[in-house]
Copies of this chain bind each other. A is one copy, B any other.
Amino acid sequence: MVSGSSFVVEGERVLLLSDSGEKLLVVAKRTMHKVRGLGAVDMASFIGKEWGSTVDLGGQAWFLVRPSIRDAIETMERGAQIITPKDAALIAMYCDVRSGSMVLEAGTGSGALTMVLAGLVAPSGKVVSYDNRKEHQAVAARNLERSGLGGCVELKGGDVTGPIPERGMDAVVLDIMEPWKAVGTARECLRASGHLASYSPTANQVEMTVRALRDRGFREVVSLELMLRNMVVGEGGIRPSFDMLGHTGYLTFARRL
């Protein structure tokens, strides 16, 4: 992200981007690495190359790109349905997540939202992320390691519907099956004025969560959904895309007061 040298430095993450849009996230270090479709690649060969220049791998030109958080998400290992960037972005905005924020997340899943939050709270903030499914934690740990975004993250096992020790958090983000059961815990963890976000696919989950938030005295309770539609520019002009993801999840927000 942050502007640095114009050349790839040893140890940096590099996004390899092909002409057809394929993406591979690697680390420029002195090892050979087996890359799907490309065989063994000498990762050291990228060191000292200029950012934005191309290298030839497997007979194809690949751009050397500084990876963004979205690149990390698009190239991550998937063990569960992951949150989309549009939803992650709105959660971060509505929860006021920025450098220094203390954020509690439940559940971690594959770590997509964790990476977004970690990227935003760095370098001085922290993301504590709970998941009681061991296999998800393992996937998330690998994704955080691979993306280099794990520095501010603490992965924890356990269930946030019961008591947990965190206090004074700036934000609590819920991506669990029964978020209404975690509203009480969330209240205890949040500082005054702190933000809660919950992500749920069904209208039933939203209704129960909203009622629980109102019952617990949360303020500024709003639920919404974001629909993203691409525009296509072709020879004949401009039109909305025929392809569209009809639904990801509903977002519910509230503030502890």
Contact = CB atoms under 8 A, between A and B. Distances in A.
Interface of A: 1-3, 6, 15, 17, 21, 50-53, 63, 65-66, 68-70, 85-86, 88-90, 92-94, 96, 98-102, 116, 119-120, 122-125, 168-170, 191-193, 195, 201-207, 210-211, 219-220, 222-233, 236-248, 250, 255-257
B6 A191 contact: yes
B100 A1 contact: yes
Given A89-B90, A122-B99, A204 B257 contact: no
A122 B102 contact: no
Contact of A240 (B21, B100, B247): B247
A231 B223 contact: yes
A92 B89 contact: yes
Given A98-B122, A204-B236, 18 more contacts: A1-B96, A1-B170, A65-B192, A65-B255, A66-B193, A69-B98, A120-B120, A202-B236, A203-B203, A204-B237, A207-B238, A224-B230, A225-B240, A227-B227, A229-B246, A229-B247, A239-B247, A244-B245
A99 B102 contact: no
B230 A241 contact: no
A226 B206 CA distance: 21
Given A90-B89, A123-B99, A245-B244, A202 B2 contact: no
Contact of A93 (B51, B88, B233): B88
A97 B223 CA distance: 26
Contact of A229 (B3, B66, B224): B224
Q: How many copies does the complex hold?
A: 4
Nearest to A252: B231
Nearest to A222: B230
Contact of A207 (B237, B243, B246): B237
A191 B64 CA distance: 13
A29 to B, nearest CB: 19
A98 B96 contact: no
A201 B238 CA distance: 9
Contacts of A232: 223
Contacts of A230: 222-224, 246
B94 A85 contact: yes
